[in-house]
């Protein structure tokens, strides 16, 4: 299964865009990139997923590079409630489509 690398922590000013990077240089052509977030002591919350095209929903945008070796999750206008740990996950059919959660990026939104 493709591994992901994320910075352990990031800060973002309230109201600004938060750009969270993820490297997945060994990703295969049939593997999707998923993003979840986890607010302290709660269950992870699904944000967005994509294969190779950029995706946008009401929560965030996902930008995947053309070679698919990295992606960026963008929260366009971060609020204090966006403070959480963000997980980038590559989901592989080779491992039964399981989700493998690493340690993620701890995002702190600063007033």
Partner 1 sequence: DGGITQSPKYLFRKEGQNVTLSCEQNLNHDAMYWYRQDPGQGLRLIYYSQIVNDFQKGDIAEGYSVSREKKESFPLTVTSAQKNPTAFYLCASSPRNRARTDTQYFGPGTRLTVL
Strand 9-13 to strand 105-110: parallel, antiparallel, or no bridges (unpaired)? parallel
CB of 78 to partner 1, least distance (A): 22
Residue closer to partner 1, measured from CB, 8 or 111: 8
Residues 6+ positions from 60 with CB-CB distance below 8 Å? 35, 47, 48, 73, 74, 75, 76
Selection from 84, 61, 65 nearest residue 74 by Cα: 61
CB of 68 to partner 1, least distance (A): 14
84 neighbors 38 (Cβ within 8 angstroms): yes
CB of 100 to partner 1, least distance (A): 8
Residue closer to partner 1, measured from CB, 1 or 14: 1
CB of 14 to partner 1, least distance (A): 25
* Rounded Cα–Cα distance for residues 57 and 40 (Å): 23
- Main-chain dihedrals φ then ψ at residue 95, nearest 5 degrees: -120, 40
Residues within the interface to partner 1 (CB under 8 A): 30-32, 34, 41-46, 49, 87, 91, 93, 96-104
Residue closer to partner 1, measured from CB, 10 or 100: 100
Residue closer to partner 1, measured from CB, 42 or 111: 42
């Amino acid at each position: 299964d493709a591994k992901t690398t994320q910075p352990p922590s990031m800060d973002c000013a309230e109201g600004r865009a938060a750009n969270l990077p993820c490297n997945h240089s060994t990703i295969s052509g049939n593997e999707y990139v998923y993003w979840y977030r986890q607010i302290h002591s709660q269950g992870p919350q699904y944000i967005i997923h994509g294969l190779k095209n950029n995706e946008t929903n009401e929560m965030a945008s996902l930008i995947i590079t053309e070679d698919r070796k990295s992606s960026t999750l963008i929260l366009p206008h971060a609020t204090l409630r966006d403070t959480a740990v963000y997980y980038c996950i590559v989901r592989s059919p080779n491992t039964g489509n399981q989700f493998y959660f690493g340690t993620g990026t701890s995002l702190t939104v600063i007033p």
